[in-house]
Structure 1
Amino acid sequence: PIEVFNKAALEAYADGEKTGACDAVAEKHGQEDVYLRECFAQLGVRKMDAFNLLLESEWACNERPGSMHELMPPCYDRQVSFHPFKSVKSYWTCYEKAKKMHWSWPIAMNSVPPGKPNHFNA
């Protein structure tokens, strides 16, 4: 997963660090994504799932939402990050392919988790 935080979330985290609000969470969880999820929940920071932000190298061009909606594009195509690339060559191959893409859909937040069409990503 990719975690994206707004300014208010980071300010809440900084305030929590001053008071030690997440100290127990840090001792309990070793992974940063689990720690941050639990810490932000404890601080009252709301989260929003956006399953179309991360481009997976294996299925980059074929991901489809599990359900169609008139306000969502029919393909995940507005990723802000790429993962995982195990070699420089695989990164540049994806980069060159991405540069050739024609974007015709408006940006839309998609919080519908991948469904049956994405059985490999669910």
Structure 2
Amino acid sequence: MLVPFSSNTSRTNGPAMLNNSHFERASLQAATVRTPTPCTKEWCVFKDEAVYINNCQWGLHGPIEVFSRRCIAMYIAGLPICQNLLFHAWGEDIFIDQCMMELGLTRVNEFDVMSEIACGDQPAPCGQTDTTFHPFKNVEKWFACWNFANKYGHGPEDRLAHIVVEQAEILEQLKKKDPEEFEDESK
């Protein structure tokens, strides 16, 4: 039997990573809102099929996983068939990939969705057209990538993200000019 995921990682670690700053939390929330854009990829024709995107030449990797609704429904229904795969020392991404292949679900190779070191890519400085850049294991490197992608990336224009980055840069400049103005009032 599979154990359900029950971690509250984002709720417990997120505020600590952002130093409990209301401005930074609000900025990140605003910057992550994306408006849907029409699908222009070849795999859009699979709209009603059980299909998933293989994002790496060596198999599905976890930083971004894309599945159709029907694919997820068939995966859940077929999990008992994949019980024999649980004995391998794989991560969840390889397990899902292997299970879906075992179930005969459609796997579409789309390697330009993600820039991942484990797939032979060099994600930094994060200015490519990929949707995901990985791994960035510390806060400073993550924000450096995020800021570069928002400022110089070649993906869809997201004016709100540019505004948030510009506001953060202005706030940092103001903090440097007059640090007393921005002291924590709770002290």
- Tell me the TM-score normalised to structure 2 length: 0.41
Structure having greater relative contact order (Cα 8 Å, sep ≥ 6): 1
Q: C-alpha distance in 2, partners of 1:104/1:31?
A: 30
SS in 2 for 1:48: strand
**CA RMSD, Structure 1 to Structure 2 (Å):** 2.7
Q: 1:117 — aligned with what?
A: none
Deviation sequence 1:74-97 (CA, Å, 0-9, x none) = xx9332222111210001111111
What percentage of aligned pairs have identical amino acids?
24
What stretches of structure 1 move > 4 A for 4+ residues in a row? Answer: none
Contact 1:54 1:82 in 2 (8 A): yes
Letter in 2 for 1:7: R
Letter in 2 for 1:15: A
1:95 to 146, 159, 169: 146
Q: C-alpha distance in 1, partners of 2:90/2:143?
A: 32
Q: C-alpha distance in 1, partners of 2:99/2:114?
A: 22
Q: C-alpha distance in 2, partners of 1:77/1:37?
A: 26
Any gaps of 5 or more consecutive residues in structure 2?
Answer: 1-60, 157-187
Q: C-alpha distance in 1, partners of 2:128/2:75?
A: 31
Largest Rg, 1 or 2 = 2
Q: Residue 28 in 1 paired to residue 88 in 2?
A: yes
Q: C-alpha distance in 1, partners of 2:81/2:66?
A: 21
Q: 2:77 — aligned with what?
A: 15
Q: 1:84 — aligned with what?
A: 135
Q: Residue 5 in 1 paired to residue 67 in 2?
A: yes
Between stretches 25-34 and 87-96, larger displacement belongs to 25-34
Letter in 1 for 2:109: D
Count of aligned pairs between the two proteins = 90
